[in-house]
């Protein structure tokens, strides 16, 4: 039996979730989420993003971009070989224990967020 690929989410130097790939529909990857100790520090960021995503029906507004930026500032995604993913866009639905993301070797080009220039966000 072939083992599914497992990607990892990191926060503050620790693995906080494992993402067991269940399907790939290029460019999107879908996975089952296994939360680990430390996940609660970033859980609210994902809750805010997914709530906005559903509420806005997938439209990329300034508010949603800000939510996405907060995740990217606080979380690192690694490939199954443990190398850091340079860029990703992730929707993590904690209630369903599912994550869906796309990734790239280069930074995505997205409109500027609604934040004031130079404003940073605190990670949990």
Find the helix or strand (DSSP H, E) in which 53 lies. helix 40-55
The predicted structure's pLDDT at residue 99: 98
Distance between CA 68 and CA 73 in Å, rounded? 9
Whether residue 3 has pLDDT greater than 60: yes
Domain boundaries, the chain: 6-104
Task: Give percent of the chain above pLDDT 70.
Answer: 85
Q: 6-104 in CATH: which number?
A: 2.40.10
Summarised one tens digit per residue, pLDDT across range 102-122 is 999 887 665 554 443 334 456
pTM of the model as a whole: 0.84
Whose CA is closest to 19, among 102, 29, 11?
29
């Amino acid at each position: 039996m072939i083992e599914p690929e497992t990607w990892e989410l990191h926060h503050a130097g620790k693995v906080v979730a494992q993402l067991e790939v269940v399907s790939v529909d290029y460019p999107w990857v879908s996975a089952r989420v296994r939360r680990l100790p430390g996940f609660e520090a970033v859980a609210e960021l994902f809750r805010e993003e997914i709530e906005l995503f559903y509420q806005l029906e997938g439209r990329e507004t300034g508010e949603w971009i800000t939510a996405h930026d907060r995740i990217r500032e606080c979380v690192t995604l690694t490939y199954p070989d443990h190398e850091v993913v340079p860029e990703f866009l992730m929707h993590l639905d904690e209630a369903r224990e599912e994550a869906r993301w796309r990734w790239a070797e280069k930074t995505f080009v997205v409109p500027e967020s609604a934040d004031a220039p130079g404003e940073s966000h605190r990670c949990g």
